[in-house]
């Protein structure tokens, strides 16, 4: 099982923090729009019962939607909890997929040989060698992890000579992994620095793109405030503000849905899988 380099791990955490911050800010701003639109309606000096009805309907609908979303999330969590060690599941699924692809390629090679398709056989052989190479890397990484566990156990029980033997075996397997050169940490210094820089830039750009959404929402908030302060007629009319309240209510509910979806275990799992695949390409 490969381990992320500390630098990429930190960059990934920063990018994830920015994305989480953007989602939270977007949800808070959408809720602030609802509260602000009710406040502006109150500024119209309309009868109290109108404001009370609008506020009651808005809060009841918003509370109902929040409760519905919380219930759906609880059902999903009860139906299937994410595994405790997700990285192990990722690796296991990857190995299973590779083994399935290898079996399929073997069948295609047999069919191509029967049909005498030399060009197809060559292409399939290259694909098979690539998959076998990846499986070999998985096996070496698994062996290193197993030997490290055995070494730690031997050290804990005072078996120093046995622990040293395990350390020697670990060094041998790590040397084999380094000779392969198919991991970022095994690349030459310049190529490794370039690859890390590209991945770090990609992670940060993804995070900053998420942050653009709440920034745009803040700009829209400023636009509406200027329109209100400028005395725009459609914002001073009860009908116009009622439409704004309705739109703000829809956006507030949408914000709850997005926040719930973003922080759900399933979405977090898929996001980590996507980042893991990009790091290991």
Q: How many CB atoms lie within 10 A of CB 254?
A: 14
The contacts of residue 256 (CB under 8 Å, 6+ apart) are 27, 62, 65, 66, 69
Has residue 216 got a pLDDT over 60?
yes
Per-residue pLDDT of 36-45, as tens digits, reads 888 888 888 8
DSSP secondary structure code for residue 197 in this structure:
H
Has residue 116 got a pLDDT over 80?
no
Has residue 210 got a pLDDT over 90?
no
Has residue 79 got a pLDDT over 60?
no
Output the pLDDT for position 169: 86
pLDDT band at 269 (very low <50, low <70, confident <90, very high): low
pTM above 0.85, yes or no: no
Contact of 34 with 58, CB cutoff 8 Å: yes
**Closest C-alpha among 235, 242, 211, 256 to residue 62:** 256
Output the pLDDT for position 71: 81
Query: What are the helix (H) ranges across 43-180?
Result: 48-79, 86-115, 118-156, 160-180
DSSP secondary structure code for residue 280 in this structure:
T
Per-residue pLDDT of 91-104, as tens digits, reads 555 777 777 888 88
Output the pLDDT for position 16: 85
Report residue 200 as tokens.
Answer: 């770090």
Mean pLDDT of the chain: 78
Report residue 54 as tokens.
Answer: 């609008």
Distance CA 32, CA 241 (A): 15
**Closest C-alpha among 26, 15, 73, 18 to residue 266:** 73
**Helix, strand, coil % (nearest 5) of the chain?**
90, 0, 10
Contact of 151 with 167, CB cutoff 8 Å: yes
Q: What is the mean pLDDT of residues 229-252?
A: 83
Q: pLDDT exceeding 70 applies to what percent of the chain?
A: 80
**Closest C-alpha among 200, 168, 203 to residue 184:** 200
pLDDT band at 85 (very low <50, low <70, confident <90, very high): very low
Q: What is the mean pLDDT of residues 129-133?
A: 81
Distance CA 241, CA 227 (A): 12
């Amino acid at each position: 099982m490969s381990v992320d380099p500390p630098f990429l791990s930190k960059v990934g955490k920063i990018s994830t923090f920015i994305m989480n911050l953007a989602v939270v800010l977007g949800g808070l701003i959408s809720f602030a729009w609802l509260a602000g639109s009710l406040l502006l309606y109150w500024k119209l000096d309309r009868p109290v019962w109108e404001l009370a009805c609008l506020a009651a309907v808005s809060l009841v609908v918003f509370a109902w939607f929040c409760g519905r979303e919380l219930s759906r999330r609880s059902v999903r969590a009860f139906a299937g909890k994410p595994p405790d060690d997700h990285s192990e599941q990722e690796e296991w699924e990857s190995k299973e997929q590779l083994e399935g692809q290898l079996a399929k390629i073997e069948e295609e090679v047999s069919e191509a040989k029967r049909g005498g398709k030399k060009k197809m056989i060559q292409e399939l052989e290259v694909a098979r060698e690539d998959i076998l190479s990846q499986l070999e890397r998985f096996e070496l990484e698994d062996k290193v992890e197993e030997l490290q566990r055995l070494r730690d156990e031997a050290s804990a029980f005072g078996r120093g000579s046995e622990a040293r033997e395990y350390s020697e075996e670990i060094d041998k397997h790590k040397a084999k992994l380094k000779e392969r050169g198919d991991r970022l940490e095994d690349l030459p210094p310049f190529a490794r620095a370039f690859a890390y820089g590209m991945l770090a830039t990609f992670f940060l750009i993804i995070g900053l793109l998420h942050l653009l959404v709440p920034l745009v929402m803040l700009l829209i908030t400023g636009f509406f405030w200027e329109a209100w302060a400028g005395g725009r007629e459609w914002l001073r009319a009860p009908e116009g503000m009622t439409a704004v309240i309705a739109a703000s209510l829809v956006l507030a509910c949408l914000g709850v849905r997005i926040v719930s979806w973003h922080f759900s275990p399933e979405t977090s799992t898929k996001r980590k899988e996507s980042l893991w695949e990009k790091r290991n390409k």
